[in-house]
Amino acid sequence: MPLLVDTWNVLHQTGVLPPDLAGVGLKGLGQLIQRSRWGSAGVVLVCDGTPSGPHMGLPEGIRAVFSGHDREADEVIEGYIAASSAPRRLTVVSSDRRIRTAARKRSCSVLTAELFLERLVYDAEGRRKPQPTRPHKVDLPTDMIAEAQAMLDQVQGLPTRRRAPKRPPADQPAAPKRADLDGGPLPQSIIDAARRLLEEG
């Protein structure tokens, strides 16, 4: 995505860059951008005034445009925004209200100078969202594995506990035992009752 930077507005931000990066000039800003997510975006650094020398030493893909003595950088930036054939793909960096208003009218992405610098620092220091760690196999000592297996076998070999049968209420006759249902010895009272029925028949 092309990047259009209000350069002096960015360079005059204080309290954002760490001490080792504080006070970077035009060349330093270009180097920071080259190492950032915008390194291959096609970057235009718009500056007030005229260049201090014929060669600015900017990285490849990053160029500086100066407004000259007869106009301000804001006018140059507004001209780029108005002339863009794909404004929705253009990112404009400035904290200046006038430039931000012009960029929003054409549906450009807009970043404040402070937020832009924070992202440059973030990228320069290589801070990225940590990747989720994958579970890894742990190799246990052979004797520990054998001991754990023996404990498991011992637990699996234990008889399962059975619940004690519920006792019927005192006013209800007890259910016949399974031995009675399977043809085992019957109570004497049942045998006597069956014998009387046979005799009467």
pLDDT in tens, 164-178: 556 656 666 655 555
The CATH number of domain 3-122 is 1.10.1660: no
Both structure tokens of 163: 């619940």
188 HSE (CA, 13 A, CB side):
0
The single-letter code of the amino acid at 25 is G
Report the b/e string of 153-168 with b at 16+ CB within 10 A.
eeeeeeeeeeeeeeee
Q: How confident is the model at residue 116, as a pLDDT?
A: 95
Domain boundaries, the chain: 3-122
Write the CB contacts of 52 (distance below 8 Å, at least 6 apart in sequence): none
Instruction: Determine how many CB atoms are found less than 10 A away from the CB of residue 49.
Output: 12
pLDDT in tens, 22-61: 778 899 999 999 999 998 888 999 999 988 765 568 888 8
Q: What is the pTM of this model?
A: 0.60
Taking every pair of Cα atoms in the chain, the longest distance, rounded to a whole number of angstroms, is 138
Q: How confident is the model at residue 159, as a pLDDT?
A: 56
